Structure 1
Amino acid sequence: MFNLFKKEKKFPYIKKGEGHPLILLHGLMGGLSNFKALLDFFPKKGYKVIIPSLPIYNMPLFLTNISNLSKYVIQFLIEIGIEKATLIGNSLGGHIALIIAKKRIDLVHSLVLTGSSGLFEKSFGDGFPKRENYEYIRKKSQEVFFDPKIATKELVDEVFHIVNDKKKGMKTLYLAKSAMKYNMSKDLSVIHQPICLIWGKQDHVTPPEVAKEFHRLLPHSELYWIDKCGHVPMMERPKIFLDILEKWLSKFDFDHENFFCKI
């Protein structure tokens, strides 16, 4: 799918389809491929799907934090002329979506959060204490999913490479810590866009209690559960995830929404 990769000035991204824009924001250890099911499905349903590549490892270390990632996405949306988009974020991507929704209401029509950080999340731990231990990394990668088989050797190898690369490992830790410090419990009441929460019942990274707290604090949120599913529902249970999301989006009349897009 990466033959769809584009670059608008300094912003690399994938874009497919036409219609109301869905902006997909991946997590800290995730990537563009995590949203393959959405990229294949929603353009056929009359949506424009856009996946920016977040510069997690490209920012200077002292600027590597969730606030600057949020600013990057805001600049990206402005650069490509997107207004009133639906931001769909997993894990760290959901946290970024919440920050943008709070700061730039003009850019955000609605949010979809799945396994989002912003209130509480478990991490690999301080400094990846056993980062050179492949079995430790494999086990931690498997814990992200209900079905450990989803954590393929290719996926585990990628995580192992990241945490054992000195620069990438350090930036990963900086971002993880900045996300934990940027708690949004006092901010959520001012976010009034419609919000769809799609959560794995067996999410061990952002447990079900986190989803319930998001639902309680976000004024216009709806909460949907996926059973036998961990932290990355769109990867682990894509058909169910797509069904929930399509039905939720169908409630809006996007044909009469006022949004502008250059691309």
Structure 2
Amino acid sequence: MPPLLTLSSSPAPPPPAPRRARFRVAASADVGATAPAAGNDFPSFLPRAVERIRDGAALRLAKRIERVPVQTGFSKSPIPSSCVRPLKQQQSADPVVLLHGFDSSCLEWRYTYPLLEDAGLETWAVDILGWGFSNLETRPPCDIVSKREHLYQFWRSYIKRPMVLVGPSLGAAVAIDFAVNYPEAVSKLIFIGASVYAEGTKDMTRMPKFVPYAGVFVLKSLPLRLFATRLAFYKIPDGFFDWVQIGRLHCLLPWWEDATVNFMITGGYNVINQIKQVKQKCLVLWGEDDGIISNKQAYRLQQELPSAILRQVGQCGHIPHVEKPREAAKHVLDFLGGDGVDKADQASSLSSTLVST
């Protein structure tokens, strides 16, 4: 598969879980439900195409996206950076910070975010510099070093204490690069369908500009997005086209092409040599039927990380937090349970959020 396609992580809603493992989500029972698009209560910076989306979970999370200023050393003015903030911050447990995959956005977390929040976790969803819904009108650099510094300055300004960093697909490479360079900012790591063994896109700075721009034009195209989305999931339920539209919504912003080309021509991520430098406790989560990155790499990653446990999700493709959000949330909560959280509060949160049927 082409590198751009294999790193894609367009979202899709969850199919029904097997009966013996099904969970009822008390506070989020309408995960994946459709709803009419509201007209005027979305953030003004979102593309107008958001009003055509029918997915209820996506609409609710979209309404919570905001931009916060992040000052970096590579931009004269603060970058208005998109994220979803927790409803309340707490000091009893480490915050959970959700990244996303290649050329995606925080909307990738539309099904799992409310489950984690309902369980009592302080949950953030952050758009990686160059993707998502940040304002990049000034065209700041979006190479690896800039992405790393931007995330660090976001953490330093708003989170301010060690976090559980969650990276799906290429977001796992972002998380490894960040954790190795800023270990004081990361308490634990969670990798989902981790794309960490690719060797980047190689340096294309001397290539004629029209070549990467042509590639980006294809990346944005509806046929490729349809194909990539179909490939990413074990089972595609109804509403497939709507989910493709959710996955490409951020591509409609005017600076998306420039930001993506800048990332591509500067080489992309190659964190193979950084994996063994990770010191934090890690959860490796993988779909057993991942059609993009073989789950054989899950075993390799578990072995190479000094402190990692592996969990797999049955009948699930590349993005468990989208396709099987209840199972993904349960694995996250099990991994974090008891560490820095009051056990009584944790038990109460779990019992009120995940109820076996």
Identity %: 17
Amino acid in structure 1 at the alignment position of 2:326: K
Match of 2:308 in 1: 221
Contact 1:145-1:151 within 8 A present in 2 as well: no
Say which is worse superposed, 199-208 or 187-196, in terms of deviation.
Answer: 199-208
- Select the residue among 321, 325, 337 that pairs with 1:250: 337
Match of 2:115 in 1: 41
Amino acid in structure 1 at the alignment position of 2:96: L
The alpha carbon displacement at 1:90 in A equals: 1.1
Contact 1:144-1:232 within 8 A present in 2 as well: yes
1:28 and 1:42 map into 2 onto residues whose CA distance is 22
Amino acid in structure 2 at the alignment position of 1:218: L
Say which is worse superposed, 155-164 or 237-246, in terms of deviation.
Answer: 155-164
- Distance 1:121-1:37 versus aligned 2 partners, 3 A rule: farther
- Select the residue among 222, 227, 236 that pairs with 1:148: 236
Q: Which runs of 5+ in 1 are unaligned?
A: 257-263
The alpha carbon displacement at 1:83 in A equals: 1.5
Higher-helix-fraction structure: 1
- Select the residue among 95, 98, 108 that pairs with 2:176: 98
Amino acid in structure 2 at the alignment position of 1:46: G
- Select the residue among 273, 298, 316 that pairs with 1:186: 273
Task: Tell me how many residue pairs correspond in the alignment.
Answer: 253
Deviations 1:140-189 (A, max 9, x none): 22101111337721232455677799963464355357675x32222112
Match of 1:14 in 2: 84
- Distance 1:60-1:232 versus aligned 2 partners, 3 A rule: farther
Structure 1 segment 1-263 matched on structure 2, within 5 A: 1-9=61-69, 10-16=80-86, 17-19=88-90, 20=93, 21-57=95-131, 58=136, 63-120=141-198, 127=215, 134-149=222-237, 152-157=240-245, 168-169=256-257, 171-172=259-260, 174-175=262-263, 182-254=269-341
> What secondary structure is seen at the aligned counterpart in 2 of 1:199?
strand
Contact 1:142-1:150 within 8 A present in 2 as well: no
- Distance 1:135-1:4 versus aligned 2 partners, 3 A rule: closer
Deviations 1:112-159 (A, max 9, x none): 110222213999xx8269668744441222101111337721232455
Q: Which has the larger radius of gyration?
A: 2
Q: Which has the higher contact order (CA 8 A, sep 6+)?
A: 2
1:153 and 1:198 map into 2 onto residues whose CA distance is 27
- Distance 1:246-1:188 versus aligned 2 partners, 3 A rule: same
- Distance 1:76-1:62 versus aligned 2 partners, 3 A rule: closer
Amino acid in structure 1 at the alignment position of 2:233: F
Deviations 1:170-222 (A, max 9, x none): 64355357675x32222112211010011011212222122222111110011
Task: Give the TM-score normalised by structure 1.
Answer: 0.81
2:303 and 2:125 map into 1 onto residues whose CA distance is 29
- Distance 1:116-1:60 versus aligned 2 partners, 3 A rule: farther
Report runs of 4+ in structure 1 exceeding 6 Å deviation: 59-62, 160-166
Contact 2:105-2:247 within 8 A present in 1 as well: no
- Distance 1:84-1:156 versus aligned 2 partners, 3 A rule: same
> What secondary structure is seen at the aligned counterpart in 1 of 2:311?
strand
The alpha carbon displacement at 1:49 in A equals: 0.6
1:13 and 1:161 map into 2 onto residues whose CA distance is 15
1:132 and 1:81 map into 2 onto residues whose CA distance is 32
Q: Which runs of 5+ in 2 are unaligned?
A: 1-60, 70-79, 202-211, 344-357
CA RMSD in angstroms, aligned pairs only: 3.1
Deviations 1:203-246 (A, max 9, x none): 12222122222111110011111111111110001111111111
Task: Give the TM-score normalised by structure 2.
Answer: 0.62
Contact 1:94-1:113 within 8 A present in 2 as well: yes
2:249 and 2:286 map into 1 onto residues whose CA distance is 28
Match of 1:261 in 2: none
1:221 and 1:159 map into 2 onto residues whose CA distance is 30
- Distance 1:7-1:152 versus aligned 2 partners, 3 A rule: same
